[in-house]
Structure 1
């Protein structure tokens, strides 16, 4: 049995009486005060996440830009220094290896942030593709811990312990500076649908920064947030999760990520298949669902129409913000019609759901 990995904040989670679970080979907090309470804290105030399990890959060299362009579906050529790009990364068949954030320092230096459970697989894939480019690709995950402070009060709380002018960091931009005397990469990004920051730093300072941020935000009700609320928050904002909305058998176009697929740029892995799919129409579409009968649609439950299986649930849960049971489902494209009634098969029983717009929550 492989021993689960732990972040530098493991002892802090224990002292906060977090409930811990295995997540992609990591022992991580799923909740502290409770998922719904934590969810509302992020939507209304601010919450602090330990996301030190995420993977980081450094790309350097004279052909770094060309390499990144080949690797991802989005257009890194339009990315300015100090800016960040979200993109799927595809196999030649158009299926998704992973989705990632691309940080651009300059045309010869990029910093890629990948999903925790995919880090080793992604790194191996990148090394294989790098053979044709003058680049050095390095897995630097062990050199970084990461915290995410998310919610409408994030900026005011973090500003109390840094001299960096956080208001000048625009959405999907990053800078370097000290927080409580610790050198950090600070980016205005997140995975909750709220404003916030993701902070990267040397793992030895993990407990110091965790405690300092909670202390700085104590008067505003900031609290630690587990993976349970992280999932309901990202789900309401229609932010995809690898293994649910994304996977090796799902293309970015099927997952509704066409805006991040730039077919007008030069060659990239999977372009030919995605171009054909765009021209011919996708066979499946991701749709929003609202349960109209009692029940919660869980990930991978079958979806049926008139007794015929037409797809499956990718994510589903009770929505604390909307106070109703909702889901996302990948179904046959011709049936993806607003107002259509489908059956969610919950333990063999058909439970009715209605197709609704899939962006369940948008701040402001």
Structure 2
């Protein structure tokens, strides 16, 4: 299905993934101005079912899942005892005894083991349902007008980070108003066997609106413009939730959870470093892994960096010592043997018009 559209592929987390179709910049701009369609079926999907499903999720995640109502979605993290990331994830509540967790593809098996390992007396089962489902993301300002003719669900009634169940192109679907691009849009969870059918119906429906099929390359630059972090790059098991500047998903007051004491202590003592967004004051983009220097001393490296097609700037993310994280602070990045200047800027770099 992707080869017929001229996709170029790369291996990612055991999957052969489309990197781009017509070109990463063209696809990026289509999402910002019209719409793009992504096949993100590589993501992991875990179901938690049972009387104590909520109790188990409260134990292993740092956000407060008890605040969720039925059909609401929450961004959260699985945290280690040190308050660092096992993974970041989205939590979908069907009922108090039934949740769906969308996790990173490379962490699917690790996350499943982690949750099961920390299940004690809770009456809850955790299942890997990844292979049973496909996941398509329709993103961009034209997403609603493209999807609405294909579904009986009233899309205007689905709020951001909520979902409904219905049909898309005659196929049973979970329709979630979520995404990883910084745009309005929907993620569709459908039976794996129906993926090609729904994909093609969406492509047909979006043609007149300027929608394009999009690959991993555009997804990466879109999420970076919106300052949406990527596990294994911007955070991992060596970085805490506070350090990643995701404190809004830490709810210390909810009660005990794995990593709570470490996060409470770090908040009280103060941070030594924090993730910041930067703009390169040079024509050269700063790529992941490039050394970051302050006063000639290497203090870290770029965690994500790229040319931003919509903003037409070179942007990125890096961890800096806390005393150098103020907006306007300048530092240097070693780009192919040359030190170029960069400046800490407010994030997200891009925020969609409301």
TM interval, shorter chain, is over 0.9
Partner residue, 1:36: 25
| Pairing 1:108–2:120 present | no
Question: For 1:211 and 1:69, how far apart are their aligned partners in 2?
Answer: 39
Q: TM-score if structure 1 supplies the norm length?
A: 0.95
Counterpart residue number, 1:308: 297
1:338 deviates by 1.7
Matches within 5 A, 1:324-339: 324-339=313-328
Equivalent residue number for residue 190 of structure 2: 201
1:7-18 matches, within 5 Å, as 12-18=1-7
In structure 1, which of residues 224, 236, 255 is the aligned counterpart of residue 244 of structure 2?
A: 255
Aligned equivalent of 1:275: 264
Q: Give the CA deviation at 1:260.
A: 0.5
**C-alpha offsets along residues 46-97 of structure 1, whole Å, 9 cap, x if unaligned?**
1000000111111011111110001111000111011011001111011101
- Aligned counterpart, 1:45: 34
Contact 1:57 / 1:112 at 8 angstroms: preserved in 2? yes
CA-CA distance at 1:300 after TM superposition? 2.1
Aligned equivalent of 2:283, options 277, 290, 294: 294
Matching residue of 2:84: 95
Which residue of 2 is the match for residue 185 of structure 1? 174
Give the aligned length: 353
Pairwise mapping of residues 131-142 of structure 1 onto structure 2 (< 5 A)?
Answer: 131-142=120-131
Unmatched 5+ residue regions in structure 1? 1-11
Distance in 2 (CA, whole Å) between partners of 1:203 and 1:326 is 36
* Deviation per residue, 1:124-171 (Å, 9 max, x gap): 111101234211111111110010000000011000111111111111
Aligned 8 A contact 1:237 1:359 in 2: yes
Moved more, 257-266 or 344-353: 344-353
Match of 1:27 among 16, 30, 39: 16
Name the CA distance, whole Å, in 2 between partners of 1:169 and 1:55: 23
Correspondence for 1:319: 308
1:349 positional shift: 2.6
Which moved further from structure 2: 338-347 or 13-22?
338-347
Residue 161 of structure 1 pairs with residue 150 of structure 2:
yes
Q: Provide the C-alpha distance between the structure 1 equivalents of 2:206 and 2:327, rounded to a whole number of angstroms.
A: 42
2:161 to 168, 172, 190: 172
> What is the root-mean-square deviation in Å for CA atoms of aligned residues?
0.9
1:347 is aligned, of 327, 336, 344, to 336
Partner of 2:136: 147
Structure 1 residue 244, shift from structure 2 partner: 1.2
Q: 1:4 maps to what in 2?
A: none
Q: Distance in 1 between matches of 2:17 and 2:282?
A: 33
Q: Secondary structure at the match of 1:62?
A: coil
Question: Residue by residue, what CA displacement relative to the aligned partner does 1:331-363 show, whole Å, maximum 9, x if unpaired?
Answer: 111111222221112234321111111310000
Task: Write out the 4+ residue segments of structure 1 that deviate beyond 6 Å after TM superposition.
Answer: none
More displaced, 80-89 or 125-134? 125-134
What is the CA deviation profile of residues 191-248 of structure 1, one whole-angstrom value per residue up to 9, with x for unaligned ones? 0000000001111111100000010111111110000000000000000100111100
CA contact (8 A) 1:130 1:137 kept: no
The correspondence for 1:219, drawn from 193, 208, 229, is 208
Deviation string 1:84-120 (CA, Å, 9 cap, x unpaired) is: 1100111101110111010111111111110111101
Correspondence for 1:9: none
1:240 aligns with 2:226: no
Counterpart CA distance in 2 for 1:174 and 1:322 is: 30
TM-score by length of 2: 0.98
